[in-house]
Amino acid sequence: MSGPALRKVDSHSMIHQAALGEARELTDVLERFLVRDEMERALEVAYITLEHWESRTLQHAQSEEEGLYKEIAESHSELRDHVIALTRDHNLMRKLAAEIKELLSREGVTKKVLERFTALIMVDEMHNHDEESMIGQTEQGAKHAAT
């Protein structure tokens, strides 16, 4: 079972905004170090940024899949396709993070790494919008069922 914050669109949105805001800031710092050719600092920030994605967003995604998504798919069969699409987004983000990890170990920090972090942000922005819309639908359904 998922926690109550995951089932409420406002609190869920705040979780997303905080994690995504931090990811944007870290990516901006990484870009500045790359532009200034401060490669040692850029590499350090790249690993910190990757750890952020793994420990915040992707861990959050795992929690959603294990609880919230299962609950929604069971109680709102009309939203199963949405759950599948959102899970696909999570898998795409996991693949991007794995690719970043591989690039860092093989080539160090490069423009390709920055591009993948930017792609993560873009996918996460769209994913969060879709997910929050779905949660809003379940909230509305619960309100109508209670009346």
Can you list the domains of the chain with their CATH numbers? Answer: 4-140 (1.20.120)
**Has residue 3 got a pLDDT over 60?**
yes
**Has residue 104 got a pLDDT over 70?**
yes
CA separation, residue 3 to residues 66, 68, 80, 141 (Å) = 11, 8, 20, 18
Buried b (16+ CB within 10 A) or exposed e, 29-51: bbbebbeeeeeeebbebbeebbe
Gap between the Cα atoms of 96 and 129, Å rounded: 19
pLDDT in tens, 68-91: 999 999 999 999 999 999 999 999
Two tokens at 131?
Answer: 């997910």
The closest alpha carbon to 91, from 69, 72, 65, belongs to 65
pTM value is 0.91
pLDDT in tens, 85-100: 999 999 999 999 999 9
Query: Are 114 and 96 in contact, with CB atoms under 8 Å apart?
Result: no
